[in-house]
Structure 1
Amino acid sequence: MMKKLWASYYDAEFGQIRNESNHWTLEQYAVLGDHCVPICVDFEQGQIGELSSLQREAIRQALALPSDVLSITAPLVLQNYNVYREMIGDEEMPQLANPIQVWDEVTFSYIYVPPHVEYDLHIPTFKLIAECDWEKEHGLEVRFRSGVADDADQIGETGRV
């Protein structure tokens, strides 16, 4: 028996959610500065349409990010930039005088809302996934818990408490 492949799903709260390139992507976008960033979700336990209350809250928080989110988050991302700069000793990586300049080195990809059964069982969590000039191979992942950025690292490396 063949498994049915869904192309889209309608959610009463968030509208159309489409399956694009193996990601379930909301029709609505998060706004980061002057960038509109897609929001992608993995449904709980792989069940189409099964968003947990924590995932729903994480999506609401991503959609309601404050207009100054990039300024607020810049020091955390700059810390990752500086650690990487020192670690590889790259003299060509400029010393950034103002933390907000770190965003000039970043290209936003999407916001990812994971199944909360995998981790962070009690805290609404999402991750900003991006490409960054200082680590082209692994990119950048900024974790938001309860709507606040608390970790920035290379993709797959976050999760420290």
Structure 2
Amino acid sequence: MMKSPTSYYDAEFGQMRMEDNHWTLAECAVLGDRRVPICVDFEHGQIGELSSLQREAIRQALALPPDVLRITASLVLQNYDVYRDMIGDESMPLLANPIQVWDQVTFSYIYVPPHVEYDRHIPTFELLAECSWDPEHGLEVRFCNGVADDADQIGETGR
């Protein structure tokens, strides 16, 4: 029986390793002062098969602007506020400055899905994270064309 490979070398992105059922790039994205791993699932499950959209999504994740956290804070804060109102939790503080929402978030990884399976026609990746206000579901921030356009609980994006 052939053993599945646990590493793959991509001409553009370098070494990738199989970790927790995802291929993880050696190079990390930088969000503020934090380094975040980038994970991909190859198109059709074929090792090494990255679509042009996936490649562009990876490039965009690697090229996030230094102020990406400030730019996306209001989107994440909106999710925080909706959740706060929904559960009526007085222990969740009102945040004076949207950037403070990131103090409640621990980044897990950036995920680049197979675009074919998801019927995506623009480069898309998701920032998956743990968040203090919903430890059960966590947080997913979706980026399309390198810009955050949705923040929701993991698995709930696109309602």
What TM-score do the two structures reach when normalised by structure 2? 0.98
Match of 2:12 in 1: 13
What is the Cα deviation at residue 121 of structure 1? 2.5
Aligned residue identity for 2:46: Q
What is the Cα deviation at residue 119 of structure 1? 2.0
Match of 1:59 in 2: 58
Match of 2:23 in 1: 24
Aligned residue identity for 2:126: K
Give runs of aligned pairs for residues 11-160 of structure 1, distance below 5 A. Answer: 11-160=10-159
Aligned residue identity for 2:22: H
What is the Cα deviation at residue 22 of structure 1? 1.4
Percentage of identical aligned residues: 82
For the residues of structure 1 that align with 2:52 and 2:73, how far apart are their CA atoms? Answer: 29
What is the Cα deviation at residue 100 of structure 1? 0.1
Unaligned ranges ≥5, structure 2: none
Distance 1:92 1:144, change over 3 A: same
What TM-score do the two structures reach when normalised by structure 1? 0.97
For the residues of structure 1 that align with 2:2 and 2:44, how far apart are their CA atoms? Answer: 16
Unaligned ranges ≥5, structure 1: none
What is the Cα deviation at residue 3 of structure 1? 4.8
Aligned residue identity for 2:99: I
User: Tell me, what secondary structure is at the counterpart of 1:28?
Assistant: coil
The CA RMSD measured in Å over matched residues stands at 0.9
What is the Cα deviation at residue 6 of structure 1? 1.1
For the residues of structure 2 that align with 1:115 and 1:21, how far apart are their CA atoms? Answer: 17
Q: How many residues align?
A: 159
